[in-house]
Amino acid sequence: MCLPVDRLDAIEEAWRRERPDVDVGPLVLVGRLFRAVSLADGRLASGLAGFDLQPGWFDLLAALRRAGKPYQLNPTQLIQATMLSSAGMTKRLDRMAAAGLLERRADPGDRRGTLVRLTPRGRRTIDAALPVHVANEAELLAALTERERRSLDRLLRKLLASLE
């Protein structure tokens, strides 16, 4: 099977010509990972555009929906349940609350704590967006066979375990 040529092939070739003493294989592989993430991000964001979801909102709504009734988590749990960092979380939650997708409530179990809960609108939005989002992700992976997907999943799982 002949693999398609991509931008990273040209970068690799240039480095091999200019610095044949350096194995740039890792640079090329990580570059492909970053490029794939960037392209996938753009496609997935455009697939969610019809739901008026800004970047990062889908993951927060999904985490709250996965939590089960009453669809709420405290901010620490929300960070742990998403692939998002804590940076900017407050601002993001403020904007989502203003959009009517979630609400904040005092945590009855912690006087200083807050709970973030899906509103009915937020639940309708994530329930409608989820099948569209999953279908878009399946489309992104369509170039791979089922066996290749399992292999890629296994390899990425191993890489993530070493990084985390």
- Supply the pLDDT for residue 55: 80
Residue 31 has pLDDT above 70, yes or no: yes
- Supply the pLDDT for residue 1: 67
- Supply the pLDDT for residue 5: 84
- Supply the pLDDT for residue 87: 76
Q: Are 64 and 73 in contact (CB under 8 A)?
A: yes
Phi-psi domain of 88 (left: phi exceeds 0; alpha: psi -120 through 50; beta: other): left
Structure tokens at 114: 């807050």
Mean pLDDT confidence for 24-29: 95
Full-model pTM? 0.85
Helices (H), the chain: 7-18, 25-47, 57-66, 75-81, 89-98, 120-140, 146-163
Edge-to-edge strand ranges of the sheet holding 102-106: 72-73, 114-118, 102-106
Structure tokens at 46: 């455009």
Closest to 74 measured CA to CA, from 109, 44, 100: 109
pLDDT tens for 35-75 read 999 999 999 998 898 998 888 899 999 999 999 999 999 98
Give residue 26's Cα distance to chain centre: 23
pLDDT tens for 102-161 read 999 998 888 888 999 999 999 999 999 999 999 999 999 999 999 999 999 999 999 999
